[in-house]
Amino acid sequence: MLFSRKHFKHSDKHKKSKVIKKQERTNNHMLGPKPFPLDRLMAVFYAIVEGKVAPTANIFMQITSLVSVHLLSQVAGDDQIDVPKYKCLVSLDFIKSVARTVNFDVVRYLYDFV
C-alpha cells in the first residue's frame, strides 16, 4: 500500500498545501504594514522589554513622538473610537538599521522570518 495511487495523491495534496502556505506568508510580507491597536503595540513593547515597566505617560509620549516624526501614523479606528490605531510608515530596511544601532535582533521577533 505504500506505493499505491492513494498514497501519491495524499502526498501531492500535502506538497500543494505547503506551497500555498509559503505563498500566503510571502504575500503577507509583501502587502506591507496593517493598522494595529494601541493594545497590540503595548503588548509587543512588554514582550520585548526586559523587566517590569509600569505604563507611564512617558511611554505614551514616545508614541506621540513617533507619530510626530512620521515613523507611525494614527489611523481612524472604524469599530472602536476609544482605542487608537496606528500604522508603521517606515521600511523594513530602516527598522533593521535602527535595530542594529541598538544591538537588537528585530528579525527574531518578526513572524515572516521565524
The answer to whether residue 86 scores a pLDDT higher than 90 is: yes
Question: Residue 30 has which C-alpha cell?
Answer: 509583501
Q: Which string of b and e fits 19-43 if b means at least 16 CB within 10 Å?
A: eeeeeeeeeeeeeeeebbebeebee
Which tens digits make up the pLDDT trace of 58-85? 889 999 999 999 999 999 766 667 789 9
Reported confidence tier of residue 113, pLDDT bands at 50, 70, 90: low
Which tens digits make up the pLDDT trace of 7-63? 555 556 666 666 666 655 555 667 778 899 999 999 888 888 887 888 788 889 999
Percent of the chain whose predicted confidence (pLDDT) is above 70: 68
Average pLDDT in the 99-112 region?
A: 87
pTM: 0.66
Contact 111, 31 (CB under 8 A): no
